């Protein structure tokens, strides 16, 4: 069992993040900042809050998306249609290090939360706008959801089988935008340490996803045919993917000629294939995948999955088990490395994954907030009068 690192100074201790966020991209970005010690104040509508709170009820009655993306935050419930509520947000931003928003196109400016004006009042502020298509251009005003961006970025064209387009099983475009915003904010904070001034970061889901599409874009460079949809296989590396056995499936990948030779000797017990010039280099193997597939199927369908895995491991070929979600929760590697901790929610404790640690610090793993849980505390911190608090007090979610 790996020993948990001590809870020492974290990379983002003393960083204050104010985020007007919803759905996945901005909340995921802000949660990763919270993991590293930032104080994240999540501004939500009083009448239901972040709409991701209501996507499903799979986690003891709470939304799976929301529990994943919102631990370790403070929830401030404010109706931003009220200018007095916007003034409270501006008061928070005036003392913040980072302001994130993924409102509808143009909404932040209409609220008076223009990035240039905010930084005029707080020159060290890093602002981050996350949108579907960017702040200008012919698509700047369009709404965007994850599946729509998967389509626009060409992801659907290379994912699935030859006969069927298939979307990603996760919100890959949202995650791409969230991760891009996260590392861009970290870079801006590093730059601020040198220059003393903040910056404005603009992240679009389309551009983040297009960056992640770099391999298929270059594969299809200058009008060349794009990667074919290959199901769970790979369009250009072969053999790489699932293959049937006598009683199931094994999944493995071969990256170079050395591994190919080992595979032919140890798994196929067909050393002649290792020397066949047709199969030299990955391009040769990919070109002649039908002949190789026939040889693999002929060999592996005579073996059980267990014996096939034993041969693959003996040949030092990279393999994987195709696990279910239930099996992922119980993955022995995650358990051995102490990657699970419990976090509080309004529906009781739930396990949460800790994907990053430092040698001298561990990530923040605090509660998933209920809607408006910290509103009164933040009002007190800002020194709002009793009259102002009464006018702004939201109806608390139950």
Task: Please indicate, yes or no, whether residues 314 and 349 belong to a single structural domain of this protein.
Answer: no
Q: Which residue, 298, 325, 352, sits at the end of a domain? A: 325
Residue 317 lies inside a defined structural domain of this protein? yes
Q: Which residue, 325, 353, 377, sits at the end of a domain? A: 325
State the virtual CA torsion across 282, 284, 288, 294 in degrees, nearest 10: -50
Q: Are 281 and 347 in contact (CB under 8 A)?
A: no
CA distance 166 to 156: 6
Task: Please indicate, yes or no, whether residues 316 and 349 belong to a single structural domain of this protein.
Answer: no
pLDDT of residue 33: 98
Residue 261 lies inside a defined structural domain of this protein? yes
Beta-bridge partners for 341: 352
Task: Please indicate, yes or no, whether residues 260 and 140 belong to a single structural domain of this protein.
Answer: no
CATH code of the domain covering residue 253: 3.30.1540.10
Characterize the bridge pairing of strands 39-44 and 16-20. Answer: parallel
Provide the number of structural domains found in the chain.
2
Highest-pLDDT range among 61-75, 129-143, 218-232, 315-329 = 61-75
Find how far residue 164's CA is from the centre of its chain. 25
Domain span holding position 308 = 240-325
Q: Read off the pLDDT of residues 266-291 as tens digits, 9 standing for 90 and up.
A: 999 999 999 999 999 999 999 999 99
Side-chain-side CA neighbours of 91 within 13 Å: the count stands at 13
Residue 340 has pLDDT above 50, yes or no: yes
Prior bond of 239 cis (ω within 30°): yes
Residue 397 has pLDDT above 80, yes or no: no
Residue 220 lies inside a defined structural domain of this protein? no
pTM reported for the whole predicted model: 0.91
CATH code of the domain covering residue 166: 3.40.50.10540
Residue 396 has pLDDT above 60, yes or no: no
CA distance 204 to 202: 7
Q: Read off the pLDDT of residues 239-272 as tens digits, 9 standing for 90 and up.
A: 999 999 999 999 999 999 999 999 999 999 999 9
Task: Please indicate, yes or no, whether residues 203 and 311 belong to a single structural domain of this protein.
Answer: no
Task: Please indicate, yes or no, whether residues 246 and 114 belong to a single structural domain of this protein.
Answer: no
pLDDT band at 359 (very low <50, low <70, confident <90, very high): confident
Radius of gyration of the chain (CA): 25
Task: Please indicate, yes or no, whether residues 128 and 175 belong to a single structural domain of this protein.
Answer: yes
Residue 229 lies inside a defined structural domain of this protein? no
Q: Which residue, 281, 305, 325, sits at the end of a domain? A: 325
Total Cβ atoms within 10 A of residue 395:
10
Q: Read off the pLDDT of residues 121-149 as tens digits, 9 standing for 90 and up.
A: 999 999 999 999 998 999 998 989 999 99
Residue 221 lies inside a defined structural domain of this protein? no
Task: Please indicate, yes or no, whether residues 321 and 336 belong to a single structural domain of this protein.
Answer: no
Task: Please indicate, yes or no, whether residues 350 and 290 belong to a single structural domain of this protein.
Answer: no
Residue 224 lies inside a defined structural domain of this protein? no
**What is the chain's mean pLDDT, rounded?**
93
Residue 4 lies inside a defined structural domain of this protein? no
Q: Read off the pLDDT of residues 6-58 as tens digits, 9 standing for 90 and up.
A: 567 999 999 999 999 999 999 999 999 999 999 999 999 999 999 999 999 99
Residue 381 lies inside a defined structural domain of this protein? yes
Q: Read off the pLDDT of residues 379-390 as tens digits, 9 standing for 90 and up.
A: 999 998 888 888
pLDDT of residue 5: 52
């Amino acid at each position: 069992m790996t020993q948990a690192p001590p809870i020492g100074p974290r990379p983002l201790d003393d960083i204050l993040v104010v985020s007007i966020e919803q759905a996945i991209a901005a909340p995921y970005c802000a949660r990763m900042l919270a993991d590293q010690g930032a104080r994240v104040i999540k501004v939500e509508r009083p009448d239901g809050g972040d709409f991701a709170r209501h996507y499903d009820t799979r986690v003891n009655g709470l939304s799976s998306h929301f529990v994943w993306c919102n631990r370790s935050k403070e929830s401030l419930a404010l109706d931003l249609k009220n200018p007095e509520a916007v003034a409270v947000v501006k008061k928070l931003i005036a003392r913040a290090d980072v302001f994130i928003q993924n409102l509808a196109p143009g909404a932040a400016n209409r609220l008076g939360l223009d990035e240039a004006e905010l930084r005029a009042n707080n020159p060290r502020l890093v602002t981050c706008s996350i949108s579907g298509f960017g702040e200008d251009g012919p698509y700047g005003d369009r709404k965007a959801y994850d599946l729509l961006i998967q389509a626009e970025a060409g992801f659907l064209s290379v994912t699935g089988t030859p006969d069927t387009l298939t979307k990603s099983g996760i919100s890959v475009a949202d995650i791409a935008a969230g991760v891009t915003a996260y590392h861009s904010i970290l870079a801006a904070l590093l730059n601020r340490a040198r220059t003393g001034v903040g910056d404005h970061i603009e992240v679009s889901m389309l551009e983040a996803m297009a960056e992640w599409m770099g391999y298929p874009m270059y594969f299809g460079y200058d009008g060349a045919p794009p990667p074919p949809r290959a199901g769970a296989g790979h369009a250009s590396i072969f053999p790489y993917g699932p293959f049937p056995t006598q009683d199931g499936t094994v999944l493995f990948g071969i990256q170079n000629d050395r591994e190919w030779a080992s595979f032919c000797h140890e798994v196929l017990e067909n050393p002649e294939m290792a020397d066949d010039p047709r199969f030299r280099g990955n391009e040769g193997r990919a070109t002649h995948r039908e002949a190789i597939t026939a040889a693999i199927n002929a060999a592996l369908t005579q073996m059980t999955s267990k014996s096939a895995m034993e041969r693959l491991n003996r040949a030092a070929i990279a393999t994987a088990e195709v696990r279910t979600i239930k099996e992922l929760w119980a993955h022995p590697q995650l358990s051995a490395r102490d990657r699970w901790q419990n976090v509080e929610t309004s529906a009781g404790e739930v396990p949460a994954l800790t994907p990053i640690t430092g040698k001298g610090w561990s990530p923040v793993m605090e509660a998933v907030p209920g809607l408006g849980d910290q509103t009164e505390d933040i009002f007190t911190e800002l020194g709002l009068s009793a009259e102002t608090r009464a006018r702004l007090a939201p109806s608390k979610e139950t």
